[in-house]
Amino acid sequence: MTKKTAFWIFLLGTLSSAVLFLAATWDTHRQVATLSNVDKLSEQVVAGKRAFEKYNCNDCHTILGFGGYYAPDLTKVVQRIGADGIRYRVKSPELAFANSWRKMPNLNVSDAEIEDLVAFFTWVGEINNNDWPPQDSKKRLSRGEQAMVATVGVSPGAAVFQTKGCMNCHALGGTGGTFGPALDTIGRELSATQIRTYVRDPKSVDPKAMMPAQTGLSDRELEEVAKFLSNLK
Amino acid sequence: MEYRSQKIAYWYFVAALPLFVLQVLLGLYLGSSYAFTIPQEIVDVFSFATARAMHTNLLVLWMLLGFMGGAYYIVPEETQSEIYSPVLAYFQLVALLVTGVVALIGFFFGWTQGRPLLEIPRPLDLVVVVGALIFLFNIGMTMLKANRWTVIQGTLLGGLVFLALLYLFGIPFYKNEVIDWYYWWWVIHLWVEGAWELVTGAILAFILMKLTGVDRQVVEKWLYVEIGLFMFTGIAGTGHHYYWIGAPRYWLWIGGIFSALEPLPILLMVIDTMMHVKERKTQIGNPLVWTYAIGCAVFHMIGAGVWGFAHTLPQINYYTHGSQVTVSHGHLAFFGAYALLNLTTFYFAMPKIKGIEVFDDRRGTYGFWTMNVAMMIMGLTFGVAGVLQAYIERVLGMGYMTAQSYMRLWMLVTIIAGVFFLIGLLTTVTDLLTLRPAKQEA
């Protein structure tokens, strides 16, 4: 190989890759409007993005998987903890994370900014991004559920509990979140029917409940998890 | 040192080293935040986010200073002329340092653009751009006036111009989060897997040529092939960041295929480094410089090549994206490819600037091995934490904090390795700042 051949390898390699990349960039711009629901990208969503940047949220949390890995991903945060969950955590993190071994700073975010943030996260949560992240994906987790029932031999209800994000807030046997109460003996207090009603819509039982309504669970999943929890005594 | 203006490089290196130390100190705080409970009162004042902004921006700042110093050292020898304006070069160093310090203090008080790695506020971005323009003007004028073009010069200048241009894409405010990340990667990915690789290729080729005495025609021929492959795989390889951001599905294919090829140019770099070393026409004067050059090529391959490949395919990346696996890759790749390259440059150039032909490299050797072993361990412990996270949080869906509690132990081990890394780094920095001639053996 001569130096001249080597030069042509360089030139063609660079140009071919650049042309492909720029063409795909042009096409991406064309498609992003649909994929990200630009019609719903309101002024309030943009204001929320500005607040998100103003408080440097992104250096602890990831969004669309990018940023700091110190705190949960925020892509589907509305689906996971609900708008009220976001409001409470941003407004009073010292209370929300009082029992957690990892803290969130209180950045004195104003009420208006919190509403903007909620609008921003709601919009981000609806971006069509190939069903990421897996932990918030309805499709993937049912697969994880099946795997657990098949391989670990846990009951279907326990599998639902572990894979539907309940443990983001609740703990069993010391493992899980500290945001909601531990559920080790919940069966002493509530029956399966009561659990079912509560999980489906907590506010219908207790208007002050912080827990978001679990609308993502199928009837079968709800029944199994209620049966599982009511047996914990 | 053959040209007086090469001395400029020395001050760039001296400025870069303490920033590297500061970066590692902040890294230890970040690690502690994972392993221990930092009380609410401290978190409210000095959050993880602030420390992370400092940690990453210090990395960029010291490495860019290293590259610029490297350019100021190499360009006189390549063009066989003095730097166009040493005054501008010193002015630009001071301007960049002041900007950096103001930015760091600003982060502490919440003055930030709020986008990871690009936290420097927009007004300061303008100062950075002016600094970059002065730098490119100075280097460009030196080359133009001398008019003795070489491939190494061209690659270096091309890489630096590309680097500066890409920075511009990080400055605007994008309303759409998807578009925001799309162009964020034009800065971050096309820097580290594009422009920085060009600069690295040029610097490493220069040092190898000087060290081994291998013919320029041979070195430059391989340099062309290397940077050709870097550009071919790296540019379209940006697609591996577009899998989950709301970009069209074909990015899974473009990103997957091109980034799977990304280890190739690095492998070629390792092979031709080894080849040049084998076919050397000179004596090994300073073994440590050779160790660094080879270490850089090999660690570049491990950190960027192997670790990058490990989670670049969409099927795997679906579970590892945005987890500690990324952190593991980030640390190994940045250290292997760019920290070691800069240190290679420092060890090559600083003795020469000081007029020391053969330096005492005992401390430096301890420093090299301590840092390399410690960083490799950190890469592995971050990696174990990352796999735990991917499995517990993403596959089993057991929740973020559940996964974190299982990862805690591994983050603690990482801190211990980090302390060793700091010891190795302090040894290295001390050694570089107080280089002395080796004692003549009787």
Asked if B49 reaches chain A (Cβ–Cβ under 8 Å), the answer is yes
CB B336 within 8 A of CB B300: yes
- Residues of chain B with pLDDT below 70 are 441-442
C-alpha B62/C-alpha A27 separation (Å) is: 37
DSSP letter assigned to residue B213: -
pLDDT of residue B441: 59
C-alpha B430/C-alpha B420 separation (Å) is: 15
Task: Sort out which chain B residues have CB atoms less than 8 A from A57's CB and list them.
Answer: 49, 114
Residue A4, min C-alpha distance to chain B (Å): 8
C-alpha B132/C-alpha B111 separation (Å) is: 22
Q: Both A22 and A55 in a single domain? A: no
Q: Is the peptide bond before B86 cis (omega within 30 degrees of 0)?
A: no
Which pLDDT band, with edges at 50, 70 and 90, does A140 fall under? low
Q: How many CB pairs lie under 8 A apart between chains A and B?
A: 251
pLDDT one-digit tens code per residue, A5-44: 999 999 999 999 999 999 999 999 999 999 999 999 999 9
Helix (H, G, I), strand (E, B) or coil at B58: helix
For helices B250-260 and B216-237, give the axis angle rounded to 10 degrees: 160
Amino acid making up residue B359: F
- % of chain A beyond a pLDDT of 90: 65
Q: Both A29 and A68 in a single domain? A: no
- Tell me the two tokens of residue B272: 């031709």
Answer whether residue A195 is part of any domain: yes
Q: Phi/psi at A171 (nearest 5 deg)?
A: -115, 155
Angle, CA B115 vertex, CA B109 and CA B120 arms, to 5°: 55
Answer whether residue A131 is part of any domain: no
Q: Do A10 and B227 touch (CB under 8 A)?
A: yes
Q: Both A74 and A95 in a single domain? A: yes
Which pLDDT band, with edges at 50, 70 and 90, does A148 fall under? low
Write down the ipTM of this complex.
0.95
CB A132 within 8 A of CB B252: no
Which pLDDT band, with edges at 50, 70 and 90, does A150 fall under? low
Residue A102, min C-alpha distance to chain B (Å): 6
C-alpha A213/C-alpha A201 separation (Å) is: 5
CB B169 within 8 A of CB B183: yes
Residue A192, min C-alpha distance to chain B (Å): 22
Q: Do B236 and A105 touch (CB under 8 A)?
A: no
pLDDT of residue B430: 98
Q: Both A142 and A217 in a single domain? A: yes
Answer whether residue A196 is part of any domain: yes
Q: Phi/psi at B148 (nearest 5 deg)?
A: -120, 75
What radius of gyration do chain B's Cα atoms show? 21
Provide the domain count of chain A: 3
Which pLDDT band, with edges at 50, 70 and 90, does A136 fall under? confident
Asked if B127 reaches chain A (Cβ–Cβ under 8 Å), the answer is no
- % of chain A beyond a pLDDT of 70: 93
Q: Both A169 and A190 in a single domain? A: yes
Q: Searching chain A, which residue's CA lies closest to the CA of residue B232?
A: A13
Task: Sort out which chain B residues have CB atoms less than 8 A from A162's CB and list them.
Answer: 396-398
Kindly provide the b/e burial profile for residues B84-96, where b requires at least 16 CB atoms within 10 angstroms of the residue's own CB. bbeebbeebbebb
Residue B366, min C-alpha distance to chain A (Å): 33
Answer whether residue A132 is part of any domain: no
pLDDT of residue B27: 98
Label the pairing between strands A175-176 and A171-172.
antiparallel
Answer whether residue A194 is part of any domain: yes
Q: Both A158 and A209 in a single domain? A: yes
Asked if B440 reaches chain A (Cβ–Cβ under 8 Å), the answer is no
Q: Searching chain A, which residue's CA lies closest to the CA of residue B398?
A: A162
Q: Searching chain B, which residue's CA lies closest to the CA of residue A19?
A: B236
- Tell me the two tokens of residue B233: 């795989």
Answer whether residue A83 is part of any domain: yes
Higher pLDDT among residues B289 and A140, named by residue: B289
- A57, A64, A164: residue with CB nearest B397: A164
Q: Phi/psi at A63 (nearest 5 deg)?
A: -140, 130
Task: Dihedral sign for Cα B336, B338, B341, B343, please.
Answer: negative
- CA distance readout (Å), B238 to A180, B188, B379: 41, 9, 23
CATH of the domain at A183: 1.10.760.10
Q: Do A176 and B224 touch (CB under 8 A)?
A: no
C-alpha B205/C-alpha B201 separation (Å) is: 6
| Domain C-terminal end among A72, A91, A125 | A125
Q: Searching chain B, which residue's CA lies closest to the CA of residue A124?
A: B177
Q: How many CB atoms lie under 10 A from the CB of residue B169?
A: 17
Q: Both A193 and A147 in a single domain? A: yes
Which pLDDT band, with edges at 50, 70 and 90, does A210 fall under? confident
Answer whether residue A48 is part of any domain: yes
Q: Do A103 and B175 touch (CB under 8 A)?
A: no
Quote the domain boundaries for residue A49: 38-125
CB B105 within 8 A of CB B98: no
- H helix runs in A56-136, sequence order: 77-91, 93-96, 111-125
Answer whether residue A163 is part of any domain: yes
Q: Both A102 and A177 in a single domain? A: no
Question: Residues 6 or more apart from B256 whose CB is under 8 A from it?
Answer: B239, B240, B312, B313, B314
pLDDT one-digit tens code per residue, A157-171: 888 888 788 888 898
pTM: 0.93
C-alpha B421/C-alpha B418 separation (Å) is: 5
pLDDT of residue B442: 47
Please name which of B2, B93, B25, B9 lies closest in space to residue B347, comparing C-alpha atoms.
Answer: B9
